[in-house]
């Protein structure tokens, strides 16, 4: 597609699909006001619009051609986008919020996203003041382009078994970095393969033959002059992935790579010139960057889901298919109850996730400020909440996005729908920054400790008061007698607390019984892992309907009450359906950001599908070269055989 046509492609059309226009006219609330709430304030909306104008004035951010690009081109485009954002960040002195917003507007489709997502935050959190003074300006001015290299080919989850070593050489006042085995090579770090010249490498610290555990080190990878790998460094890309192919996730093998002693991150621990190891702060302080990124993932979960919900809702009101009564006009597919059941949970969860992320962010900011001041009292609660919410929200996003894709029928399978790519690029959220079942277990571990406290009457953390209130014998009955009761938030909270109490204490009981019967603690944990993971998950009405078994078996609800909840859920869906389009419009996603022929604001779905099909590389010529190479021979042979047969 020529550049001029690309611009035309994204230009909003004055001709809006009439079904979509009607939905907007009947909105029961002010969409702009809701947009301000979603953005945070009218000023934040204004700022977003300013950044949209800046970004989308650049051809590289408007491109629709990526659907037919080769890997090299995808990578190069991702690099170009990174460079643009970095240049603007430097020129306009963007703060973290601005950078995050700009990155979101670029769909995080940038090769060197780790620079701001992990590399700079890790320096801020793990480096001593002297190191920060030295490294931060180099990172913020993009002389250092960096990555966070923790995972290895052999181990991602179990950090204790990482094999990379950093051995202190007191004579030369240096660390010697080594990847001693095949499985010890670093594998997966984003931007490691081709883009980064520096890495934060997590390695086992060896001093005087003693292993002091995992610590972070700043390792130069490539020459600052010509970007060639430095002596002892083998580095490269790990190959194409299901999505996110603009990112050069890489491998790294180090052979006797020497770095100055001062390159060990020294906020939390230090090796002195004479080889003494000094540990400061809490044991897990070096995991701080992971906690931050888990919080960020809950934001990305909201963003991906709101993209998917917008596309699925808009398309579902534009698409008409079949009628309920023969001869009647075909129905907008969103009017089928089953379609509402596929699409509206994604819409509802988008809003719930936005608010949850905000609350988690507030907790993060407050605990982070405490930690910087030396107070780590709430670290365990933050670790529990960030682990459980990262796991739960990413799990739900992956499931709901796939439903949104299915809700778009066959067109949802086209790359031009945008939704397949969204599913593929969101899929790793369940794995990165801690695989979900592993993170649920971290939360379960904290929960079990809270149960132990509740049992002996000790105070429990603020979010776990239900362990005390729900255990008392005079707890009130659940009052669900009619549909209106199902809409009472206090009642719903009570339902969840009761179910959570039963599941959490049930898991604790099973664990305790297994241990008392003589089973070793870690075996008992493994034998009860599914119950423990369930205990760490949390669930409104849809959650109750989906997890019926737990609410009926615990027993939190009677079968009659459960039927009422189900009826109330369907009633709520019909109500939300009326405002579904205004509710997705309030996300105010620019068409370029959404990148979907099915989800565009004007609803001209069919025209855009056809226009995007024209960009297929197969359509460059009327007759494809494959015809001359292969198909022509087949057809000619067939013709020849037919002629011979007709002669017989
Ligand atoms: C942008 C996307 C790019 C992606 C990037 C990446 O993926 S980068 C790569 C991302 N990679 C990953 O995410 C790897 C995932 N793996 C891990 O995070 C860890 O290895 C582990 C948590 C699974 C276990 O760790 P372990 O064997 O060391 O520990 P343990 O289970 O024996 O527990 C010991 C104690 O430590 C506590 N504690 C643990 N973590 C934290 C924390 N963050 N904070 C605070 N506390 C924490 C825990 O509660 C327990 O406390 P207790 O009960 O003793 O008072
Ligand atoms: C797109 C992408 C980007 C990434 N970026 C980075 C990066 O920038 N830097 C970096 O260092 N790493 C990065 N990673 C690596 C990522 O952090 C790891 O993949 C993740 O931590 C899981 O580790 P693993 O792949 O080794 O899985 P494993 O730990 O081998 O787990 C495999 C499976 O085993 C099961 N399992 C494992 N342990 C347990 C347990 N204790 N209990 C129950 N079940 C268990 C789970 O089902 C799990 O899915 C990235 C990964 C991806 C996919």
pLDDT at 473 over 90: no
How do beta strands 146-149 and 198-207 pair? parallel
The mean pLDDT of 183-193, rounded to a whole number, is: 98
Residue 408, token pair as written in the block? 């778009």
Q: Which residues contact 90 (CB under 8 A, 6 or more apart)?
A: 140, 141, 142
Q: What is the pLDDT of residue 185?
A: 98
- pTM for the full predicted model: 0.94
Q: What is the pLDDT of residue 564?
A: 87
The mean pLDDT of 227-244, rounded to a whole number, is: 97
pLDDT at 545 over 70: yes
Q: Which residues contact 345 (CB under 8 A, 6 or more apart)?
A: 400, 403, 542
pLDDT at 10 over 80: no
- Mean pLDDT, rounded, of the chain: 92
Strand partners, 152: 186
Distance from residue 158's CA to the centre of ligand 2 (Å): 9
Between the alpha carbon of residue 305 and those of residues 159, 345, 423, 443, the distances in Å are 31, 10, 10, 24
Q: How many CA atoms lie within 13 A of 101 on its CB side?
A: 24
**417-454 pLDDT per residue, tens:** 999 999 999 999 999 999 999 999 999 999 999 999 99
Length of the chain counted residue by residue: 648
Nearest CA to ligand 1 atom 47: 284
169-172 contact pairs (CB < 8 A, 24+): 169/258, 170/273, 170/274, 170/275, 172/258
Q: What is the pLDDT of residue 532?
A: 81
pLDDT at 531 over 90: no
Nearest CA to ligand 1 atom 33: 442
Ligand 2 neighbours, Cβ below 6 Å, are 114, 148-151, 155-157, 188-190, 244, 249, 428, 431-435, 437-438
**595-646 pLDDT per residue, tens:** 999 999 999 999 999 998 988 889 999 999 999 999 999 999 999 999 999 9
Between the alpha carbon of residue 54 and those of residues 43, 50, 59, 587, 606, the distances in Å are 17, 6, 11, 19, 29
Residue 554, token pair as written in the block? 């615990």
Nearest CA to ligand 2 atom 2: 432
**315-372 pLDDT per residue, tens:** 999 999 999 888 999 999 999 999 999 999 999 999 999 999 999 999 999 999 998 8
Cβ of 334: how many Cβ atoms within 10 Å?
24
pLDDT at 485 over 70: yes
Top-confidence residue, 471 or 427:
427
pLDDT at 210 over 90: yes
Residue 264, token pair as written in the block? 């060990």
The mean pLDDT of 234-254, rounded to a whole number, is: 97
Between the alpha carbon of residue 322 and those of residues 188, 312, 605, 607, the distances in Å are 47, 18, 18, 21
The mean pLDDT of 9-17, rounded to a whole number, is: 78
Q: What is the pLDDT of residue 221?
A: 98
- Please indicate whether residue 433 is annotated as part of the active site: yes
The ipTM estimated for the assembled molecules is 0.98
Ligand 1 neighbours, Cβ below 6 Å, are 117, 148, 150-151, 157-160, 190, 284, 287, 290-291, 293, 379, 383, 432-434, 438, 442, 445
Top-confidence residue, 502 or 116:
116
C-alpha span between 367 and 389 (Å, rounded) = 16
Q: Which of 174, 303, 433, 569 is catalytic?
A: 433
**374-417 pLDDT per residue, tens:** 888 889 999 999 999 999 999 999 999 999 999 999 999 999 99
E strand or H helix at 539:
none
pLDDT at 64 over 80: no
pLDDT at 4 over 50: no
pLDDT at 3 over 60: no
pLDDT at 5 over 60: no
Q: Are 536 and 395 in contact (CB under 8 A)?
A: no
Distance from residue 156's CA to the centre of ligand 2 (Å): 4
E strand or H helix at 220:
strand 210-220
pLDDT above 90 covers what percent of the chain? 74
* Max Cα-Cα span within the chain: 99
pLDDT at 491 over 50: yes
185-194, 523-532, 613-622, range with the lowest pLDDT: 523-532
Query: What is the chain's alpha carbon radius of gyration, rounded to the nearest angstrom?
Result: 28
DSSP, res 195? T
The mean pLDDT of 211-222, rounded to a whole number, is: 97
Go through 389-398 and write b for each residue having 16 or more CB atoms within 10 A of its CB, e for each that does not: bbbbbbbbbb
User: What values do phi and psi take at 632, rounded to 5?
Assistant: -55, -45
pLDDT at 135 over 50: yes
Distance from residue 412's CA to the centre of ligand 2 (Å): 29
181 is in an annotated binding site: no
Which ligand is located closest to the Cα atom of residue 247? 2
Query: Confidence band (pLDDT; 50, 70, 90) for 525?
Result: confident
* Closest atom of ligand 2 relative to the 114 alpha carbon: 8
151 is in an annotated binding site: yes
């Amino acid at each position: 597609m020529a550049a001029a046509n690309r611009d035309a492609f994204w230009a909003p059309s004055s001709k809006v699909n009439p079904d979509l226009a009607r939905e907007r006219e009947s909105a029961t609330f002010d969409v702009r006001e809701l947009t301000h709430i979603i953005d945070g304030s009218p000023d934040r909306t204004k700022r977003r619009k300013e950044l949209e104008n800046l970004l989308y004035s650049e051809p590289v951010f408007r491109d629709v051609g990526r659907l037919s690009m080769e890997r090299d081109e995808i990578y190069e485009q991702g690099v170009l986008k990174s460079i643009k954002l970095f240049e603007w960040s430097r020129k306009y002195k963007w703060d973290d919020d601005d950078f995050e917003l700009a990155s979101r507007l670029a769909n995080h489709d940038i090769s060197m996203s780790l620079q701001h997502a992990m590399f700079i935050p890790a320096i801020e959190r793990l480096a001593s003041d002297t190191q920060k003074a030295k490294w931060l300006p180099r990172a913020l001015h993009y002389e250092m382009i960096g990555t966070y290299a923790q995972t290895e080919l052999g181990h991602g989850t179990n950090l204790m078994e990482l094999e990379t070593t950093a051995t202190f050489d007191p004579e030369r006042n240096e660390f010697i970095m080594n990847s001693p085995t095949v499985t010890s090579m670093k594998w997966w770090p984003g931007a490691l393969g081709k883009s980064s010249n520096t890495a934060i490498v997590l390695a086992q610290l060896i001093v005087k033959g003693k292993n002091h555990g995992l610590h972070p080190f700043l390792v130069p990878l490539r020459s600052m002059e010509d970007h060639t790998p430095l002596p002892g460094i083998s580095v490269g890309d790990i190959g194409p992935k299901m999505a996110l192919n603009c990112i050069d996730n890489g491998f790294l093998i180090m052979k006797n790579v020497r770095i100055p002693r001062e390159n060990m991150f020294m906020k939390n621990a230090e090796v002195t010139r004479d080889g003494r190891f000094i540990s400061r702060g809490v044991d897990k302080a070096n995991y701080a960057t992971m906690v931050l990124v888990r919080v960020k993932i809950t934001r990305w979960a909201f963003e991906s889901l709101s993209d998917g919900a917008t596309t699925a809702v808009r398309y579902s009101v534009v698409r008409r298919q079949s009628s309920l009564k023969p001869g009647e006009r075909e129905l907008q597919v969103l009017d089928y109850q089953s379609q509402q059941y596929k699409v509206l949970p994604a819409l509802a969860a988008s809003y719930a996730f936005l608010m949850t992320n905000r609350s988690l962010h507030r907790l993060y900011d407050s605990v982070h400020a405490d930690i910087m001041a030396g107070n780590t009292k709430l670290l365990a609660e933050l670790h529990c909440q960030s682990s459980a919410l990262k796991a739960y929200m990413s799990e739900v996003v992956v499931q709901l996005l796939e439903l949104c894709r299915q809700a778009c029928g066959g067109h949802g399978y086209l790359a031009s729908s945008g939704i397949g790519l969204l599913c593929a690029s969101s899929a790793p959220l369940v794995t990165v920054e801690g695989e979900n079942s592993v993170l649920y277990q971290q939360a379960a571990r904290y929960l079990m400790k809270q149960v132990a406290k509740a049992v002996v009457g000790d105070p429990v953390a603020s979010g776990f008061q239900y362990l005390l209130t729900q255990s008392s014998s005079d707890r009130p009955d659940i009052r669900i007698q009619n549909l209106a009761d199902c809409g009472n938030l206090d009642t719903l909270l009570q339902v969840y607390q009761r179910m959570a109490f039963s599941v959490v204490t049930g898991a604790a009981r099973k664990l305790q019984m297994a241990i008392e019967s003589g089973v070793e603690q870690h075996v008992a944990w493994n034998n009860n892992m599914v119950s423990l993971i369930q205990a760490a998950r949390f669930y409104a009405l849809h959650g109750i309907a989906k997890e019926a078994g737990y609410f009926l078996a615990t027993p939190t609800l009677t079968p009659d009450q459960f039927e009422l909840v189900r009826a109330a859920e369907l009633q709520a869906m019909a109500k939300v359906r009326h405002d579904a389009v205004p509710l997705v419009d309030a996300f105010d996603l620019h068409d370029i950001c959404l990148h979907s022929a099915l989800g565009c604001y004007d609803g001209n779905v069919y025209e855009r599908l056809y226009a995007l099909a024209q960009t297929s590389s197969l359509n460059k010529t009327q007759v494809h070269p494959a015809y001359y190479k292969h198909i022509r021979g087949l057809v000619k042979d067939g013709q020849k055989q037919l002629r011979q047969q007709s002669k017989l």
